[in-house]
Amino acid sequence: MQALVNKLSGKRFLVMGRVGMDLFPTLVGGAVEDATDMTVAMGGSSANIAAGLVKLGCKAALLTRVSDDAVGRYCVNQLHRYGVDADHVTPIAGEFRNSLALYETRIEGHQSVIYRNGAADFEMTVQNVNAVDFSQFDALITAGTVFAAEPSRSAAFHAFNLARMAGLPVIFDVDYRPYSWPSPEVAEDILSRAGALSDIIVANDEEFGFMAGGIDKGMAKARALAASSAEIVVYKMGPMGAITFANGEETRSGVFKVTPLKPTGAGDSFMAGFLAALAEGRPLDEAVLRGSACAAIVVARPGCAPAMPITEELRAFLAANPAPDTVLHSPKG
């Protein structure tokens, strides 16, 4: 595993997947249908991860496609604002559109509405991937949505191959979104194939269960991936914490106690904090802890990318909040 972590030390990440627009009621606790004022922000899992990495001192470039319209240009402008390299964000004309997410800053009765019809990011091609010089990066990160449709699916698998040829670790956030896929059966097959090609896999218990064909089989799926192909597997369980599989060990960690304002953005922030810590050479346990801290910070603030912490904010949070109590190690069984 140490050889894998050492490859991240250059802190240069290529992130593959969507960027979109988020809208949420400016009033904390307000419902979308009652809103008279909305806040606009950059969204999309991959773009959020990229922004989170840059905020924590890493470099990140996004590989995707955007609509050739005002919304697509907004997304590119926001990537520049966050310091994310947008050289490989390619516009596409016609009726293709960027994703749009409307969500609320509240827990009780929380609503999220996602518009993904004719998604521009699904039009990423092998040619777009071939335009990237993989030798300029230290790792490839992708969210599972890139595999949901063609030509993006074939392009994403091609990117996996080019990353491996260049010696880059492949980092996979399963990020299963049912509305993006033609059927659960297709998703299960494709995401399992992607998982088998990945060096680091991060997913929640439902996503691992989906890949395994049942929620009760998710833990076994995570354990099997760690034993066969992946060097690090993080099995997230929401408020129950996470189990990390690496080096033949299972490490269980808790979560930070905060009062959440919303449930969105935690996974993207966890990934950014986790990978930034690994790239700094921190131990795996500490990397998971810092990822959890980033997730806690984001759910306690409005927005997703805007809510992600910079290094000083993360440091202050860790100093002010006691670490989760339980960290257990046991042999892999």
> What is the per-residue pLDDT across 80-93, written as a single tens digit (0 to 9) for each?
999 999 999 999 99
**pLDDT over 90 at 244, yes or no:** yes
Return the axis-axis angle of helices 284-299 and 311-320, rounded to nearest 10°: 100
Residue 264 CB contacts under 8 Å (≥ 6 apart), including other chains: 103, 112, 299, 304
How much is the average pLDDT of 316-329?
80
How would CATH label the architecture of 2-18+46-96+125-331?
3-Layer(aba) Sandwich (3.40)
How much is the average pLDDT of 63-87?
98
Decide: 15 and 142 in contact? Cβ < 8 Å: yes
Q: What are the structural domain ranges in the chain?
A: 2-18+46-96+125-331
> What is the per-residue pLDDT across 218-231, written as a single tens digit (0 to 9) for each?
999 999 999 999 99
How much is the average pLDDT of 84-111?
97
Identify the H or E element spanning 141. strand 139-143
Give CA–CA dist 297/270, Å, rounded: 10
Decide: 71 and 44 in contact? Cβ < 8 Å: no
**Maximum C-alpha span of the chain:** 55
